[in-house]
Chains A and B, each alone.
Chain A
Amino acid sequence: MDLIMKDILGTPAILVGLFALLGLLLQKKSSADILSGTLKTIMGFVILGGGANIIIGSLNVFGKMFEKAFSIQGVIPNNEAIVAIAQTTFGTETALIMVFGMLVNILLARLTPFKYIFLTGHHTLFMASLISAVFATGGLKGVPLVIIGSLILGSLMVLSPAILQPFVRKITGSDDIAVGHFGSIGYFTAAVVGSSLGNKAYSTEDIKVPKSLSFLRDTSVAVSLTMTILFVIVAGLAGPAYIQSELSGGTNFLVFSLMQAITFAAGVYIILAGVRLLIAEIVPAFKGIADKFVKNAKPALDVPTVFPFAPNAVIVGFLSSFVAGVLSMFILPVFGLKIIVPGLVPHFFTGATAGVFGNATGGRRGAILGAFANGILISFLPAFLLPVLGSLGFEGTTFGDSDFGIIGILLGYLIKLF
C-alpha cells in the first residue's frame, strides 16, 4: 500500500509515465514505441527536475545579492519548495487528490460542455498539495478530504482553461488547443485590462525588431542576455566586496555574475528539453485516452505553447510584470504586508503569458498594462496567502502563481466557517 501510495503515486514522474503508458496502449502502438514513449516521458520529468535545480541554485545567489542590495528580507515565492515541505506531511493525500482529480477532470470533460483535459502535470500536483494542506489544517481529514479535494481540483482543471479559451482562440487563431496553467486569473485579468485600456490595432508583433536583433528570437540567447543585465545591476548595488567574500569565493564579481546568468539560461534550456520530451509523448497519449472517453476533447497545455504566437509580447510582458513586482515590493510594507521578492521565473512565465493575452485584446498597450496587472497580482496574492499558510508553519516561502493565491485564500477562509 505504501509502495503504491507514496513511491509510485507520490512520484509525479512515474504518475505521468503511467498516463503516457495508458495512452500508448489505448492507441495500440508497437511494444517498442510503448516502451520508448513511457521511458522518455519519465525521463522528461527527471530532466525537468535537473534543470530546476540548476535554476534554483542561480536564483539563490540572485536572492542573496538582492537582499544585500536593497537591505531587505522578503518571502521568495517558490512552488517547488513549498510543495516539498507539504509533501512530508500531506504526501499521500496530495497524491490521491491528484490522481482522483485527474479522473474527475476526464469525467467533467465527458459530461459537461467544458471539454478540457488539463495536461500541465506539475501544476496539478501543486494544486493538489495546496488543497490538501489548507483543508487538513482546517480539520478535514481522510476520505472526505480526498473526495472534496478531488472534486475541487478536477473542477479547477476544466474551469481554468475554460475562462481563458475565448482569448486563446484569438491568440492561436484556432480552437484546437487550450491553456492549462494555474496562473489563469492573471492571464484573464491581463486580457480584460488589455481590452478595456489597450488598442488592438497596434500589435506588439508589428514592432519591427531589427534584423540584426533576430538572434534574440533564440530563447537561450535572450534569457542569457536578460539575466546578465539583471545580475550585473544587482551585483553592482550589492557591492563587489560582499559578493567576493560571501558568494563567489573570491572570483571577480562581474565574472561571477556573468556565469550565474548563463547558468540560469542553461537551466532554462534543460527545462525546455525536458518539457519537449514530456509534451511529445503526453499529447499523443492524451489523444489516446481522450479519443476513447471524451469526444472533441481539447488538450490544455503549459503556457509556453502560446509564446510563439507573439514572441515580442513575451519579452514586453516579462519586463512589464517584473517592473510591477519590483514596485509592489516597495508598496507591500506600506500596507503592513510581508515583502514578496519578485521571482524571475514566475514573472518570466506568467508575465510573458499575460503579455501575449494582453496583446491579443489590446495590442502594445494591452501587453504592457495587462502584464503589469499580472505582476501586481502575483506580488499581492502571495502576501495575502501567507496568513493562511503561515499557521501551517510554511513561513519563509509561498506559492507563486495567481490561482494558488486566490484558491488558497478562498479555501482557507471557507474551511474556517465550518
Chain B
Amino acid sequence: MKKVLVVCGNGLGSSFMMEIMVKNVLAEMGISAEIAHTDLTTGKSEKADIYIGAADIVANLEDGKRTVIGLRNILDKSELKTKLQKYF
C-alpha cells in the first residue's frame, strides 16, 4: 500500500482539507492508500511514496528522488485527480 503525505506550512489547516479531498478522490478511483497530513518541517524528514501540497510549498521538498505533486489550486478536485492518475 502506498503512503501519501499531504503537506502545508502548519500541517493543520489546508493540508487537512487536502487530505480529506485526496481520500475522496482515491476512493472514487477505487484505490486504498495510507494517507496522512503534516507540516513542512516534518515532511522533510518523513518518508512517503507521494508528497502532495500547494505548488510553492512542496517545491521545498523536491530533492530529485521524491515523488512530489504540486497543486496550483489546492481546492480543485479535478486538478488533483489528473495529477494523481499518473502515479496509480
B12 proximity list for chain A (CB < 8 A) = 272, 275-276, 279, 304-305, 307
CA distance A307 to B13 in the complex (A): 7
Residues of A273-303 contacting chain B, CB below 8 A: 273, 275-276, 279-280, 283
Interface size on A, residues (CB 8 A): 25
A309 proximity list for chain B (CB < 8 A) = 13-14
B14 proximity list for chain A (CB < 8 A) = 308-309
Query: Which of A219, A275, A306 contacts B9, CB < 8 Å?
Result: A219
Interface size on B, residues (CB 8 A): 23
B24 sits at the interface (CB 8 A):
no
B33-41, B63-71, B77-85: which lies at the interface: B33-41
CA distance A279 to B38 in the complex (A): 12
A217 proximity list for chain B (CB < 8 A) = 9, 40, 56-57, 60
A279 proximity list for chain B (CB < 8 A) = 12, 16
The residue in chain A whose Cβ has the minimal distance to the Cβ of B41 is A220
B60 CB to nearest A CB, Å: 7
A100 proximity list for chain B (CB < 8 A) = none
A214 proximity list for chain B (CB < 8 A) = 56-57, 59-60
The residue in chain B whose Cβ has the minimal distance to the Cβ of A173 is B75
Contact: A283 with B11, CB < 8 Å? no
The residue in chain A whose Cβ has the minimal distance to the Cβ of B74 is A308
Binary CB contact string for chain B from 6 to 19 against chain A (1 if under 8 A, 0 otherwise): 00111111111100
B57 CB to nearest A CB, Å: 6
Chain A at the B interface: mostly helix, strand, loop or mixed?
helix
Contact: A304 with B10, CB < 8 Å? yes
B10 proximity list for chain A (CB < 8 A) = 219, 272, 304, 307-308
Contact: B60 with A174, CB < 8 Å? no
CA distance A215 to B9 in the complex (A): 10
A90 proximity list for chain B (CB < 8 A) = none
A256 sits at the interface (CB 8 A):
no
Contact: B39 with A220, CB < 8 Å? yes
Contact: A272 with B11, CB < 8 Å? yes
Query: Which of B9, B11, B38, B59 contacts A311, CB < 8 Å?
Result: B9
CA distance A272 to B11 in the complex (A): 8
CA distance A8 to B12 in the complex (A): 28
CA distance A173 to B14 in the complex (A): 13
Residues of B1-56 contacting chain A, CB below 8 A: 8-17, 37-42, 54, 56
Query: Which of B39, B54, B56, B75 contacts A272, CB < 8 Å?
Result: B39
The residue in chain A whose Cβ has the minimal distance to the Cβ of B38 is A276
B57 proximity list for chain A (CB < 8 A) = 214, 217
Contact: B16 with A280, CB < 8 Å? yes
Contact A304 to B41, CB < 8 A, known contacts A174-B75, A217-B57, A217-B60: no
A2 sits at the interface (CB 8 A):
no
Query: Which of A215, A283, A311 contacts B60, CB < 8 Å?
Result: A215
Seen from chain B, the residues whose Cβ lies within 8 Å of a Cβ on chain A are 8-17, 37-42, 54, 56-57, 59-60, 74-75
Q: Which 3 A-B residue pairings sit nearest by Cβ, starting from the closest?
A: A308-B14, A305-B13, A218-B40
A-B CB contact pairs (8 Å), 14 listed:
A214-B60, A217-B9, A218-B40, A218-B60, A272-B12, A272-B39, A279-B12, A279-B16, A280-B16, A283-B16, A304-B10, A308-B9, A308-B13, A308-B74
